[in-house]
Amino acid sequence: MEHDQGSLLDEKALAQAATDPAARVEALRREIEHNSYLYYALDAPVLSDAAFDSLMRELRELEAAHPELIDPSSPTQRVGGYVGEQFAPVRHAQRMYSLDNAMDLDELDAWMQRVVDDFGHFPPMDCELKIDGSSIALTYEDGVLTRAATRGDGTTGEDVTANMRTVKDVPLRLRPEALGAVVDPTRPLELRGEVYLSKASFERLNLAAEANGKAPFANPRNAAAGSLRQKDPTITRGRELSTFMYAIAEDDALRVPGQAELLAWLREAGFHVNPDVALCESAEEVRAFCERALEQRESLPYEIDGVVVKVNAFAQQQALGFTARAPRWAIAFKFPPEEKTTLLRDITVQVGRTGALTPVAELAPVVVAGSTVARATLHNLDEVHRKDVRVGDTVVVRKAGDVIPEVLGPVLSLRPDDAAPWSMPDVCPSCGSPVIREEGEVAFRCISIDCPAQAQERLLHWASRGALDIDGMGEEIVSRLVEVGRLTDVADYYSLDEAELSLLDMGRVNKEGAPIRLGATIAAKLVAAIEASRTRPFARVLFGLGIRHVGKTIAEALAGAFPSIDALAAATEEELAAVEGIGPKIARSVYVFLRVPENVAVIDRLRRAGVTLADEATGEERPQTLAGLTFVLTGSLSGMTRDEAGAALKALGAKVAGSVSKKTSYVVAGEAAGSKYDKAVALGVPVLDEAQLARILETGEPPAPEE
Ligand code: AMP
């Protein structure tokens, strides 16, 4: 095939376009697909970007002139389709499994030994990098992409076809050269892999988030999953997602004998396949691959969190089979959490909404597990002393659970001579009032009622998702409103008006030197969000008030026993303490809070603003069919949030606990279930998937015991 840049735009071609546009359109599509294959699958582009774009332009123009020729699998049709409010559920024809983990080389050896014991010899194993993204299943019918679905709970995922079509390395049609190996081309062919964000795209995305005052993504994996679940495919397109494909749902749907051969076929079919693979003949080779991958980790343009080792031959895979959760023929060798050293520039003190002072490590920014870390909580003074970290130290940093940055300790040999032990300031860094430490408490506190830092934290807490959920009311806007004196307490939210908000000076100037204002669009959204917050249930309001020791669960227990603020305010300390889950300390805190005149005044103003301060009589209650059962929820559910699932279970009389014990009746495991799942298995607690949970909520019946 010729690839000189002008060849497709010469006169002959233009003549063809005029006389037989259908043939020309088809020729252009083939040419574009072929060049995508060279670019993505083989990583060996021949055309320049400009020439490629010119082909696309011609195709687009021809399709515009002949709309009858438009076809959903045309390369011009990568964006289209509307995603409804909810992504439609997709039941996977074959379960999408998770992988068992080997946390170190010894565990990896033990797994390999078990396989060797089974077969009596070392079966060839395919080693691949474990891409840190989100799993995806792509279905092709007659060679054309018809559906893309997330893993979900493994049984049911979400339909993300419109979004995956925007991912440039996903072929909309399989290359005809590869179709020969498909056993029955009329049957849907489901291929699987990982959709991910490169480190560079991730960084760009987070910089943009920061510039727009949004919270950054914790890691590329979350960013990829979030990008995939956008309601608007044009947003997904802008996120620059990529894929690496590596699996097939039914391995007998293709005439290939094993994993290595499958990867070669996937590449032939036009998919992006990771080149870093090895077919290993011995345990030493597998170990060497893992060690090499660990060394390469940093220099790769995308995040990996381990190596996946797979018994290569499909026949041998079938002989080994699956457990309930994962294949027996594969294991994920997980890298240890990445640790970095950096300079501890300072230890600052943050004042929380209850006045607790928290020391925070201010670090020289360093990239750990995919994102930049510049701050990490040091929790309290005892912790600072236990870790013995001092300003000026070089410290070791990692991300707990790959998300929360954590300072492990100092590198003592690098400590400067003048580094002194750190101590808490005597006065609050925000308001200058004296700091106290109560008997038996770890935390130091500022107890001034006028402390602006506390006020700001209380205001943010009120607006937070678990409380009144005022969407968009973030730190920057709240702190501006506090600074200009428009927000002092939570009742002030309900007197903000749209015109005033839109003119709010954000304390920054634009290129021309004019002050940046909040603007009408955001102001309108905020006012709508404030309006919506008025109808949140009483328990959320109670939680939002930020009474010391009253977290979400306690607020729910209190609202259950005293369904209005008046009933609660009328209760004695003893009556409060009689509620299950409420001890004397909490009872005292609630009792006192509701008698502080300033608080009573705020509550009165909230009442006048129409905020829910009493639950409607619930009328008919659902029968408490789950009474006596305790559920633990883990992982993310696709159809609802964990909070919603918990509330629905409670409405049926169940208890919902935060950790797994022998008393747990059921663990509901969503996607990416973690240690709670493992604990459930270890304790023999039955594990339910999301579909089973849905059935329970629908019928109100506990699950039938397994045979
Ligand atoms: P985990 O979620 O930690 O149980 O790991 C299992 C997941 O690893 C799978 O569901 C895949 O999404 C992902 N994964 C990433 N790279 C690979 C690979 N090369 N082979 C198989 N799974 C992979």
Instruction: Tell me the per-residue pLDDT of 202-228, one tens digit each, with 9 for 90 and over.
Output: 989 988 887 777 777 878 888 899 899
Q: Enumerate the H helices of 468-549 as residue ranges.
A: 475-483, 498-502, 520-533, 538-544
DSSP 41: I
Average pLDDT, the chain: 90
Find, among 473, 525, 519, the residue nearest to 500 by Cα.
519
Q: What is the structure's pLDDT at 80?
A: 54
| Mean of pLDDT values over 9-13 | 64
Q: b vs e for 503-522, b when ≥16 Cβ sit within 10 Å of the residue's Cβ?
A: ebeeeeeeeeeeeebbeeeb
Is residue 487 within 8 A of residue 481, CB to CB? The reply is yes
Predicted pLDDT at 81: 53
Does ligand 1 come within 6 angstroms of the Cβ of 277? no
188 contacts: CB under 8 Å, gap ≥ 6:
93, 139, 140, 141, 146
- 586, pLDDT greater than 90: yes
- What is the phi/psi pair of residue 410, to 5°? -90, 160
Residue 86 pLDDT > 90, yes or no?
no
Measuring from atom 18 of ligand 1, which residue has the nearest CA?
Answer: 130
Q: What is the pLDDT of residue 706?
A: 52
Q: Which residue is closest in CA terms to ligand 1's atom 10?
A: 98
**If you measure from the C-alpha of residue 510 to the centroid of ligand 1, how many angstroms do you get, rounded to a whole number?**
45
Dihedral pair phi/psi, residue 507, rounded to 5°:
75, 15
- Residue 693 above 60 pLDDT? yes
Q: Which helix (H) or strand (E) holds 53?
A: helix 49-65
- Of 43-57, 335-349, 477-491, least confident by mean pLDDT is 43-57
Give pLDDT, residue 4.
42
pLDDT greater than 50 at residue 95: yes
If you measure from the C-alpha of residue 163 to the centroid of ligand 1, how many angstroms do you get, rounded to a whole number?
A: 21
CA of 241 to the centre of ligand 1 (A): 17
More confident residue, 163 or 627: 163
- Provide the terminal-to-terminal Cα distance of the chain, rounded to the nearest Å: 62
Check pocket membership of 194 for ligand 1, CB cut-off 6 A: yes
Mutate to test the pocket of ligand 1, among 136, 308, 334 (most ligand atoms within 8 A of CB): 308
Q: Which pLDDT tens digit goes with each residue over 297-327?
A: 989 999 999 999 999 999 999 999 998 889 9
Q: Is the CB–ligand 1 distance for residue 302 below 6 Å? A: no
pLDDT in tens, 391-427: 999 999 998 766 789 999 999 999 999 999 999 999 9
In terms of average pLDDT, the best of 3-7, 61-65, 114-118, 320-324 is 114-118
- Percent of the chain surpassing pLDDT 70: 95
CA distance 108 to 287: 8
Residues recognised as catalytic: 130
- pLDDT, tens digit (0-9, with 9 covering 90-100), for 18-35: 789 999 999 999 999 999
Where would I find the beta strands (DSSP E) of 403-518?
404-410, 435-437, 444-446, 505-509, 515-517
Residue whose CA is at the smallest distance from ligand 1 atom 9: 98
Q: How far apart are CA 673 and CA 665, in angstroms?
A: 17
E-strand ranges in 239-355 read: 241-248, 277-280, 304-311, 330-334, 339-351
Q: Is 412 helix (H, G, I), strand (E, B) or coil?
A: helix
Distance CA 366, CA 371 (A): 8
> Does residue 134 have a pLDDT over 70?
yes
Q: What number of other Cβ atoms are within 10 A of residue 258's Cβ?
A: 20
Q: pLDDT tens for residues 376-388?
A: 999 999 999 999 9
pLDDT of residue 359: 96
pLDDT reported for residue 23: 93
Contact 627/700 with Cβ under 8 angstroms?
no
pTM of the model: 0.64
